Every structure is written in C-alpha cells, then in structure tokens.
Structure 1
C-alpha cells in the first residue's frame, strides 16, 4: 500500500511551485488569502487554526536510532511551520510517536509554533492520569493545546477529568474521537450532551459514514471538527493511481490527487482541519497547497465525488 501511495504522489507533486507558502491566515475567507493558508475559527474560543496539519500514527512510530527517518520527519515539521501550518495530532497508542515528537521538538525548536493534540484512552481515573503524565514526559511538555478522549464507546461517557485538566491549565481544549461505525450512536449522544471543544473523526471520499449524522451533530454542538485518515487508509490513492486529474480540478487550483481529496474535505464548511499522515517534506508542502486558493462549493464537491466514484 505504501508503495502505491508514493508512486502516485511522485507523479503529481509540483514541489518547486509551492516553496513560497507564507504564514497562516488570521481570518476565515471564502478562499485562502494570498498571505497564507486558510485558517478556520475554533467555535469555543474564536482562535484561528490553519486547516492542514499532520497525523503521526504509524509513520512517526520508529526507533530513535533510525537517523534517516528522524531527519526526514524533522523536515516534515519544518515544512509544516514554514507553510503556515500548526496542527500535529498524536496518541499513546501510536507506538513510539510521542517519544519521537519529543525528540523532534528538541531538534527543531518548533514546539512553541505547534498546536499539539494528544489523546488519552478511556480507563480508570488513575490509569488515565498516569497515561497523560507518561505522554507529557515522552513529548517533553508540561501542557498541551488539545487533549482528546480516544475512541469513545459509552453513550454515558463524561469528560469531567478532561475539564479538570482544562481548568488547571494542563490543556487549552478538550475533545473526543471516534474511528468505529459501531460506536457512532454512543458518540453522537456524548457530543450532544458534553459539547467538547473538538471532535475528531475518520472522514474521506472513501469513507463518508460520519457525514450524515456525526459531523452535523458535532457542528451543532459547537465543536471544531478534525478529520483523520483523509485518504481512507490509502484506498483513495489506490483508486486514482495512474489516472489524470479531471480538467475541472483547475477551477480550484488543484495540481495533485492529494489536494483533490483534501480540498473536497475542506469544502465542507463544518471541517476545521485535516490531519493526513505525512512522512516526507515534499508531501507536506503538497498537502499545504490544499489550504491555498478557492475551495469547492456544494455543487463542485458533488462533481468531484461523482468523478472519483466513476474511476
């Protein structure tokens, strides 16, 4: 699967044309401003957050002795910040990803430029506190921007502990995540009752199961919505491999299939950010271009989806 992703993206990347991306926009325009990538407002605070970030599952899970990967991921983070991005998402369940982020923040000196999102798993209070402390130690931090309760499954789940952390300053925002269709009913009830600052869900052109109920419920609850797995675990790239972009992609200044997928997501005004797993700096630059130029309206989003499904 990885080889297919690399091949498809190498064929479509135009890195040289994207090296002038500037700092993040501070307002929410209909299109990204010429001064930087699109940023959208976090509903609970009004803070602006650039719409393209990084997910760290799998690709940041490697041993520190692998200097090639360490240096490459450092360049990814540098490219994110240079391009106006801020958001990095991680979790204790992502193997060594938190450890490597701690190393990479030390290497790059960019921790203060990052909006860092972490997670804790549903467990006893003592175990959840212990997991949070372990994560902070691995990442070499004493506070975090966003702490999310990972993969909520109980309709009666409360966020009392996370609210305590928020009140004490350990985190600025709290949220919940879900990746399993079978949990959607419980998640929807939790969203409506608890009204967290953020909600993270797997959402892509390949997997749109959250589109009908969960995303509207999160938006109605005042959540900023982050979408993980925006390429559908690689299935998107498998489907488009070797295929040319449609001519109408030029209408929204799309020059790669990755941008096509990300701009389709960002064309949904409820979506605050996309967090694709990104292991190469040229891919980071390409992804950031999804935050530049016009976004598709509802009619064009439908056309984009129809074209993709007919491939």
Structure 2
C-alpha cells in the first residue's frame, strides 16, 4: 500500500527529488548503525519491509525482489522483515535472496501468528533456510501471551533473537504487558511522523527492558506522501534530508531508541532512496519538533 501510493507521488515529484539528492555527494557517508540492546550487535538502521509488496510469487516479482535486495546490500543495508501471513512474501524471498547474495549477508526477520511448530516449519521451508535472525510473535493482542516456545526455538538455534509486533494502537496495552513481562530482544511497532503515540508508551518501556525497536509503517500507510504531494522539501530540512522519504525516515531515526526503520517497497530506486536516510546527519531535537509542526500544518 505504501509503495503504490509513493509510486504515484514519485511520478509527480521525481524531477524535483532526484536532482536534489545529488547521490549524497559532499555529505558524511558514514552509515547510521544501531546496537541491538540485548547483544550489542550493530545493525544498519534502514531495512526492507515486505508486507503487500511481494504478495504474489511469479518470475517478474522474484527478479524485482532480487534487484531490491541487491540494492539493499549495495547501499549498506541488511535487514529484511517478512511474515507467514504476507501472502507469498516468504516464498519470494526464499528465491530472491540466493539470487541477490549469500544468505549470511542478510539479517532475516519473520513472524508467526502463534507458537506453532507447523507454522514455523512452513516459514523456514518457504524462506529456504533452517534458521532466521529474528523470530517474532505477530500481532500481539492479549496481555498474557507468552514467548516461552520462541525462547526454546532460540535455544535450539532456530533464531538468534525473539520479538513481538503490533500495528494497532488498540493492542498497545497488551504489547506493554508482554514487553514488560517477557523482555523480548525486539518489539516492532507502528510509528511515523503523523503517528507518534509510541513515543510516550512503547519506546520508553522498550528502552527500560532493553528491547530493540523496529518501526513498521514509517510512512503512515502512505498518508505522509499524500500530504506532501506537489510540495517541495522545506528549505530548513535540506541539510539533512534529500527527499521526502528521507525526511520521514530521519524523523524516526532521530530517536536513538529506534533500532531500525523498515519501509516496504517494490521499487529498487525507492529502496536506494530509503537507504539514503542512513547517511548524513540526523535531525536534532529542535528540528524534530519543527518537523512535527510542519506535518501538523499540512
């Protein structure tokens, strides 16, 4: 959904955005990396989300996915996030990752709807692997949900990290309960410049229990691109953002509690643009407040 909206937006704005980017020339080329709190392992701060964009498995989508994955690696990224319920996304990735590079180049995260061995086996088969880097309990809804089986799988070497996810504010109470009790390695939550509830509820708790944070829906389900359609970047932001995508992503990365953002895309050029948010400086606290005020005024 996000990528489709952005595609229409980019058709109108590409002429303004790409010349502005200048391919990052003359700017600090150091990648933004974030440490996973539970281990200290450092992870590139921009990854790839696969919801919707790889729903159907065919030769064309596999090749596009391979191009996107090559771009991800070429521009310094590693993280790929998917789920058992994302249509054929796991299957597409299972074919596309070997076409792009060796499996160990990627940090692979997937999600299960329940601690079910059959669901896990299906995901591993579709991903063409016997282990993933991060295994997440998807769509946490109940405060008593347990990660005991996920921890068993971690001990067995099926995954290196365990986590929980939600993209529904109605579930934040359950997320808080599970996060506080289970202390997972990661929490994945919806967070965007126009959807900031997690700043008061989830991010402080994640920091307290030393959970890494992945941000789903960082473009607000396409709302942000629709809001700025036909508009130029504000002049005061061009020192740190070279496109609207980077403007939106760098707001999130400006909070050091965020480990990585995972925007979805089916376009290699958009993947490259997103990854540009890992380069150059991040907005400071005053600039982030200004970004919030700017979006409120749209």
Q: Indicate whether the TM-score tops 0.5.
A: yes
Contact 1:9 1:258 in 2 (8 A): no
Counterpart residue number, 2:87 = 95
* Shift in Å, 1:3: 5.4
Task: Give a deviation string over 1:225-251, Cα, whole Å, max 9, x none.
Answer: 000100011111110100111001123
Does structure 1 residue 14 correspond to structure 2 residue 18? yes
Contact 1:18 1:285 in 2 (8 A): no
Counterpart residue number, 1:245 = 233
Equivalent position to 2:161, from 150, 173, 176: 173
Does structure 1 residue 59 correspond to structure 2 residue 60? no
TM-score, normalized by length of structure 1? 0.89
**Larger deviation, residues 141-150 vs 71-80:** 71-80
Q: Report the Cα distance in structure 1 between the residues aligned to 2:47 and 2:110, rounded to whole angstroms.
A: 13
* Shift in Å, 1:8: 2.5
Q: Secondary structure at the match of 1:104?
A: helix
Task: Give a deviation string over 1:203-256, Cα, whole Å, max 9, x none.
Answer: 00122222211121111110000001000111111101001110011231x111
Counterpart residue number, 1:132 = 120
Contact 1:230 1:275 in 2 (8 A): yes
Q: Secondary structure at the match of 1:271?
A: coil
Task: Give a deviation string over 1:120-160, Cα, whole Å, max 9, x none.
Answer: 113xx5xx111000000001000010000001111112111
Q: Report the Cα distance in structure 1 between the residues aligned to 2:7 and 2:86, rounded to whole angstroms.
A: 22
Contact 1:19 1:285 in 2 (8 A): no
Counterpart residue number, 1:108 = 100
Contact 1:50 1:86 in 2 (8 A): yes
Counterpart residue number, 2:276 = 289
TM-score, normalized by length of structure 2? 0.93
Q: Report the Cα distance in structure 2 between the residues aligned to 1:132 and 1:18, rounded to whole angstroms.
A: 41
Task: Give a deviation string over 1:142-201, Cα, whole Å, max 9, x none.
Answer: 001000000111111211101101111110000000111111111101111111000000
Residues 1:193 and 1:259: Cα distance change in structure 2 (over 3 Å)? same
RMSD in angstroms over aligned alpha carbons? Answer: 1.8
Equivalent position to 2:264, from 244, 269, 277: 277
- Structure 1 gaps, min length 5: 21-31
**Between Structure 1 and Structure 2, how many residues are aligned?**
292
* Shift in Å, 1:272: 0.5
Q: Report the Cα distance in structure 1 between the residues aligned to 2:182 and 2:5, rounded to whole angstroms.
A: 41
Q: Secondary structure at the match of 2:188?
A: strand
Counterpart residue number, 1:23 = none
Equivalent position to 1:225, from 193, 202, 213: 213
* Shift in Å, 1:9: 2.8
Q: Secondary structure at the match of 1:234?
A: helix
